[in-house]
A and B are shown apart, each in its own frame.
Chain A
Amino acid sequence: MAHDPGPHEPHHHPHADHDHGHDHPHHGSALSPMELRVRALESILVEKGYVEPAAMDALIETYETRIGPRNGARVVARAWVDPAYRERLLADGTAAIRELGIGGRGGEHMVVVANTPEEHNLVVCTLCSCYPWPVLGLPPVWYKSPPYRSRAVIDPRGVLEEFGVALPATTRIRVWDSTAELRFMVLPMRPEGTEDLDEAALADLVTRDAMIGTGLPQGGRA
């Protein structure tokens, strides 16, 4: 960060009288109402032995950094280069994903649906934003918004166009509604002109949105 003395740079001015006479204490801290609620609940649950702070920190660290859409991208790239894996993936998503060492909480009951020139798949959760965390990371904000959840069902083509995905009129759109018992992931089509890429380079083309169906892989065309 560059040192750019802005108007708020402290300690460079002699004390003016407005430094005193505030209603609130100068040197204390403050927590937002949401922070207070979370801290209160957490501290009671820790006292009662239901949660452990260290375990919670580990969970957050895992979901923020190690787990994420890159896991799903590995699955897609493998399916693109290995037809036998692709078959297993479409037959039993959970088992095929576990072959790559990906799974666990939120990654059970995976169903993988493949895009074709005739059919494009779009995933939504109208009930409560169920989402396969281990494969795709945590859901984007829009996935959890009521307009996406309702409009994806009523007007999927319009929603896709807003995401910049214009499909040929001949391509059907199927909308899959995720639940806690059934979580969907889209297997996008391999972009043309990627015959020379290896599996790792292919995985780099796979975006999170491509696996929800609101996007296409980099270089992909509808």
Chain B
Amino acid sequence: MKFPIPNLARPSRRAFGAAAVAAALVAGIGAPRAEAQQVEHPEGFNPDEWVVVASVINTTNPYMISNIEGAEAMSEALGIPLEIVNSNNSSQTSISSIYAILASGKKPIMFVNTVASSDAPTIVDAVRQAGGYVTIWWNKPDEYKPQDVGDNFVAFQKHPGVDSGRCGAQALGEALGGEGNVIMLPGVQDSTTSKTRVAGFRAEMSESYPGITILEERPSNWDPQLGARNAKDLIVKYGDQIDGVWSADDGMQIGAMQSFENAGMLEDVKFASDGLYPKTLEDIISGRGDNAIVGETFHRGYMASAIGLYTAYLAASGQIVPSELEDDKRESFFKLSCVTPENYEQYLQYDEEGAPAEFVERLIESGPWDTEPVPLVGGGVEELPQG
């Protein structure tokens, strides 16, 4: 399976970090993590009893790499060692690796980017038995609520998919002047993330841009190549009727744009998607295909993991009692920003060197629900609008 939400990776930071640790070891100095510690733990909380754990779907998707960077920054700030679980796209691997870490005897402060919704209950149960605290991102069964499970399942958090779809529809609708035909490339058809984005796109189009017709929807499994192939087939089918293309993530958009470029149509069609990949950012900056990309959304993997881990830490250290929190802090939606060629520059700062550490610093100051550019904006189970 592939995961939808991509983003900018800051690998050089990790590479640099690894090199620095190696250099310190060679020099026999050692590099105690506590030096970077920013958090003063409350009385009675012994950090030696805890371990920070971040479970990601794989370690090749840029979004997952960014998740790891956020966890690294948070682990440093808390002065608690970090364990990464690489699920290798498999629920089984994810769950068995988490069991292995729990067996080490330390209590986990955990962030999990679940491979499948159905993994959530098993993982939460294991963490609860180990006396740890967990926050889950992106996927869980709708009816499985932290409020019903107890304090160890601190929160479920995500960015709303409906908003993502609406962003894309607004960008395309405006760029086409409210008239024309578009095609849609959803991700894996039955994934919640894809479904919510598709529903948001369709709803916004029918509410605000009735002059725009959706010609066809072809799920492309978050796969750039399938995106390219489906786009090519749809080019053959509809030819120059197509005025706009919406993809549920940038990976598929990269493939689709390649097909339109190959067909000599890139300059006549507008594109909108989710994630603001580095490649997408380059294309926006360079104005590729007569400014073909008109809309994107902004959110970053390091922000998700840092928010998730910090919320879990606050519960672990007794600074919040989850059962006393409002519902929207247990099932939470964090802000997703619409990016356009006019405003993309204000988001560049979040991809600069050291951005994850800087974000963590602000997060600790403002708390998990009030940190720009991703404050809490709502909660509950995401309802699909009718489009």
Q: Do A and B come from one complex?
A: no
